[in-house]
């Protein structure tokens, strides 16, 4: 029977393994036919914004770059939405980080605690909070 | 009651007994917290009355840990099944 997993992700990119773990857990749940909701909170909201690619010399060694790039979750979050996941943010946390007006990664949405997160809580079977 | 722990902080573990009380306690370790799956922590987990112990496969392998014999290693699909097994899930 299909169930609903909600992940509250509080960590952003390159902080720790939280984002990578959450995305992989979400992928596994979707693959099994379950529903997935992800609420991006705290530094997790940084993952909801489209990257501004930088041009020219990155001044980052290829080895370090190969370490960093897989930790970027922007495209993987978009892919989760394409597979049916529902992902939204806490816009207040976005505002606190000065990124509220920036464009969202495809499929991720503006959200709030009072409605978005409460809706997730009311409709989920399991909530996992992933943060540090 | 299934506890989800991703932080290698012993103070986090100490909450298990406080929150879990007399209930059966299952412990799922991910990220840095998989260090608690090593044999050196077995007695501590026994004192905390942890009944079943699980650790995330990718985290264990990345750290090349030797986990205790009581610990079951889970991949992501298995972690999903555990989370949906009917236990109340508490993230600590």
DSSP letter for A50, please. P
pTM equals 0.95
Query: For position A1, what pLDDT does the model report?
Result: 87
- pLDDT, tens digit only, all 132 positions of chain A: 899 999 999 999 888 999 999 999 999 999 999 999 999 999 999 999 999 888 999 999 999 999 888 888 888 999 999 999 999 999 999 999 999 999 999 999 999 999 999 999 999 999 999 999
Token pair recorded at residue A1: 């029977």
Share of chain B above pLDDT 90, in %: 97
Query: For position B4, what pLDDT does the model report?
Result: 98
Query: For position A53, what pLDDT does the model report?
Result: 86
Cβ density class B25-41: b for 16+ within 10 Å, e for less: bbbbbbbbbbbbbbeeb
The answer, for B91 touching chain A at a CB cutoff of 8 Å, is yes
pLDDT digits over B45-87, tens only? 999 999 999 999 999 999 999 999 999 999 999 999 999 999 9
Chain B residues in contact with A128 by the CB 8 A cut-off are 4, 83, 89, 91
Query: For position B71, what pLDDT does the model report?
Result: 98
The answer to whether B83 contacts A16, with C-beta atoms less than 8 Å apart, is no
Supply the mean pLDDT for chain B.
Answer: 96
Chain B residues in contact with A16 by the CB 8 A cut-off are 31-32
Chain A residues interacting with chain B (CB cutoff of 8 angstroms): 3, 5, 16-18, 21, 24-25, 27-29, 31-32, 34, 125-130, 132
The residues near B4 (Cβ < 8 Å, ≥ 6 apart) are: A128, A129, B28, B30, B83, B89, B90, B91, B92
Chain A residues in contact with B81 by the CB 8 A cut-off are 32
Q: How many Cα atoms sit within 13 Å of B15 on the Cβ side?
A: 14
What is the number of other CB atoms lying within 10 angstroms of the CB of residue B87? 18
Query: For position A34, what pLDDT does the model report?
Result: 98
Bridge partners, A86 (sequence order): A37
pLDDT digits over B2-56, tens only? 999 999 999 999 899 899 999 999 999 999 999 999 999 999 999 999 999 999 9
The answer to whether A127 contacts B31, with C-beta atoms less than 8 Å apart, is no
Chain pair A-B, CB pairs under 8 angstroms: 52
Q: What is the value of ipTM here, to two decimals? A: 0.96
The residues near B51 (Cβ < 8 Å, ≥ 6 apart) are: B24, B25, B26
Chain B residues in contact with A34 by the CB 8 A cut-off are 80, 84
């Amino acid at each position: 029977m299909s169930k609903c997993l909600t992940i509250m992700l509080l960590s952003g990119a390159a902080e720790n393994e939280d984002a990578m773990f959450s995305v992989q857990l979400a992928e596994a749940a979707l693959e099994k036919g379950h529903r997935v909701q992800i609420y991006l909170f705290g530094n997790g909201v940084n993952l909801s914004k489209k990257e501004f690619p930088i041009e020219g010399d990155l001044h980052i060694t290829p080895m370090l770059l190969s370490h960093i790039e897989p930790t970027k979750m922007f495209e993987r979050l978009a892919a989760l939405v394409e597979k049916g996941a529902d992902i939204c943010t806490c816009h207040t946390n976005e505002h606190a980080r000065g990124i509220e007006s920036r464009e969202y990664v495809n499929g991720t949405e503006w959200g709030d605690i009072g409605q978005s997160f409460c809706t997730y809580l009311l409709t989920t079977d399991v909530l996992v909070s992933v943060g540090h | 009651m299934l506890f989800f722990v991703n932080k290698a902080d012993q103070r986090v573990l100490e909450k298990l007994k406080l929150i879990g009380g007399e209930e059966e306690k299952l412990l799922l370790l991910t990220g840095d917290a998989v260090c608690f799956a090593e044999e050196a922590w077995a007695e501590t987990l026994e004192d905390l009355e942890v009944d079943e112990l699980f650790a995330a496969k990718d985290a264990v392998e990345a750290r090349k840990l030797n986990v205790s014999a009581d610990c079951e290693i889970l991949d992501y699909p298995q972690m999903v099944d555990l989370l949906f097994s009917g236990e109340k899930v508490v993230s600590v």
